[in-house]
């Protein structure tokens, strides 16, 4: 049919397109899963993907975007390491007529027309889910230490805010220390060691902004001679397979889902733009919390 051949034609046209992907780095299992999702989706749909790893530095991302523009890419996928400082480079992309899709994190710009769409979770909600679970589990009484994500990152800011809003409803819950663990196992462990040194058995619970930091904290708790998941409750966000394993082992209590498999959605958004269709400004990923009791049953179906 005519409609079908038009679809085939446009599929073929997209196949000759080049997309630039500016990724933050490989700080967590979650992020590696996202990289894989975007790379494999590009390949599946026949796009040429130019991949750039920024090693956690915004200036490297800005350089990458400028180089994508200079090379005349047809679209850009950006995972922004921090929220602010994007106005100028996104104006350059806009002037070159290159649509920019934000994956997994938001930004703060004066003009939201500088990007096509954001595909990300609601991090405030994720923080609330973690806080609500902990309030329930402790009957509203807990000394909590918090491991924050990278400074200035949307999920670090919003996961802190959502969790804070929830626990402030409970006069018996207090965040006694809060510091960045930079999203990594190594740094999460290091910061938890310092928290344990200062507060020891006074700590009832750890809230980590991602699973990798929680897994580092679990290691620190064990080395300190306490039992993670029992003496100190541990709740985190991401829902990676290693976190499910830690729940099966009884060392992690709960993890909030966050979807990293954004490749198909990112290319759908770009193709809608190429076809002149409107794209939602925020394609929100819906998350839920997973608890230890269900982990054994769920672990085999986890993809990352
Ligand atoms: O939770 C964390 C990562 O931006 C949602 O970044 C993402 C976060 C994710 O490195 O593990």
pLDDT tens digit string along 36-49?
999 999 999 999 99
What's the token pair of residue 194?
């310092």
Which of helix, strand or coil describes residue 89? helix
Tell the burial category of 76 from Cβ atoms under 10 Å away from its Cβ (0-12, 13-18, 19+).
buried
Query: Residue 13's pLDDT is what?
Result: 60
Query: Residue 236's pLDDT is what?
Result: 98
* Spatial distance between the Cα atoms of 283 and 303, rounded to a whole number of angstroms: 21
Is 153 a residue whose pLDDT tops 90?
Answer: yes
Q: What confidence category does residue 78 fall into, taking pLDDT thresholds of 50, 70 and 90?
A: very high
Is 8 a residue whose pLDDT tops 90?
Answer: no
Angle (CA) 111 47 277, round 5°: 45
Query: Residue 7's pLDDT is what?
Result: 58
pTM recorded for the entire structure: 0.94
What's the token pair of residue 76?
């850009």
| Ligand 1 binding pocket, CB closer than 6 Å | 27-28, 30-31, 104-105, 155, 183, 210, 237-238, 258
Q: What confidence category does residue 16 fall into, taking pLDDT thresholds of 50, 70 and 90?
A: confident
Question: Atom 8, ligand 1: which residue's CA is nearest?
Answer: 155
Query: Residue 5's pLDDT is what?
Result: 61
Best probe residue, ligand 1, of 35, 153, 210, 240 (max atoms within 8 Å of C-beta): 210
Tell me the per-residue pLDDT of 49-62, one tens digit each, with 9 for 90 and over. Answer: 999 999 999 999 99
* Contact predicate 216/189, CB 8 Å: yes
Find the mean pLDDT for residues 192-211: 98
What's the token pair of residue 35?
């990289």
Q: What confidence category does residue 14 fall into, taking pLDDT thresholds of 50, 70 and 90?
A: low
What's the token pair of residue 274?
């190429």
Is 228 a residue whose pLDDT tops 70?
Answer: yes
* Spatial distance between the Cα atoms of 133 and 215, rounded to a whole number of angstroms: 19
The interface predicted TM-score of the complex, written ipTM, equals 0.99
Beta-bridge partner residues of 283: 119
Best probe residue, ligand 1, of 23, 26, 27, 31 (max atoms within 8 Å of C-beta): 31
Alpha carbon 292 to chain centroid, angstroms: 21
270 Cα–ligand 1 center, Å = 22
Query: Residue 114's pLDDT is what?
Result: 98
Is 3 a residue whose pLDDT tops 70?
Answer: no
Question: Atom 7, ligand 1: which residue's CA is nearest?
Answer: 104
**Of the given ranges (5-9, 66-70, 236-240, 241-245), which has the lowest mean pLDDT?**
5-9
Query: Residue 15's pLDDT is what?
Result: 61
Query: Residue 194's pLDDT is what?
Result: 98
210 Cα–ligand 1 center, Å = 7
Query: Residue 237's pLDDT is what?
Result: 98
Place of tokens 């950006």: 78
Tell me the per-residue pLDDT of 164-198, one tens digit each, with 9 for 90 and over. Answer: 999 999 999 999 999 999 999 999 999 999 999 99
* Contact predicate 277/258, CB 8 Å: no
> For the chain, what percent of residues have pLDDT higher than 90?
94
Query: Residue 28's pLDDT is what?
Result: 97
Tell me the per-residue pLDDT of 113-144, one tens digit each, with 9 for 90 and over. Answer: 999 999 999 999 999 999 999 999 999 999 99
């Amino acid at each position: 049919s005519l409609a079908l051949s038009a679809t085939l034609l446009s599929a073929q046209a997209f196949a000759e397109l080049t997309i630039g992907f500016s990724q933050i780095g490989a700080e967590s299992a979650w992020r590696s899963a996202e990289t894989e999702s975007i790379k494999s989706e590009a390949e599946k749909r026949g796009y040429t993907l130019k991949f750039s790893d920024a090693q956690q530095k915004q200036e490297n991302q800005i350089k990458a975007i400028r180089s994508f523009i200079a090379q005349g890419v047809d679209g850009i996928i950006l995972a922004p390491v921090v929220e602010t400082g994007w106005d100028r480079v996104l104006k350059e992309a806009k002037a070159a007529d290159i649509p920019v899709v934000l994956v997994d994190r938001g930004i703060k710009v004066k003009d939201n027309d500088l990007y096509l769409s954001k595909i990300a979770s609601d991090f405030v909600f994720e923080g609330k889910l973690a806080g609500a679970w902990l309030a329930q589990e402790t009957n509203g009484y807990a000394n909590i230490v918090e491991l924050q994500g990278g400074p200035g990152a949307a999920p670090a800011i919003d996961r802190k805010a959502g969790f804070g809003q929830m626990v402030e409803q409970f006069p018996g819950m207090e965040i006694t220390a809060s510091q960045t663990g930079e999203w990594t196992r190594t740094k999460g462990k290091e910061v938890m060691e310092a928290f344990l040194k200062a507060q020891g058995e006074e700590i009832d619970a750890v809230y980590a902004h991602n699973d990798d930091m929680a897994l580092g904290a679990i290691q620190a708790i064990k080395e300190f001679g306490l039992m993670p998941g029992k003496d100190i409750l541990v709740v985190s966000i991401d829902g990676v397979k290693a976190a499910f394993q830690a729940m099966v082992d009884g060392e992690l209590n709960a993890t909030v889902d966050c979807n990293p498999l954004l490749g198909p959605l990112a290319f759908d958004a770009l193709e809608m733009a190429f076809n002149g269709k409107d794209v939602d400004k925020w394609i929100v990923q819906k998350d839920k919390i997973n608890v230890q009791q269900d982990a054994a049953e769920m672990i085999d179906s986890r993809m990352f």
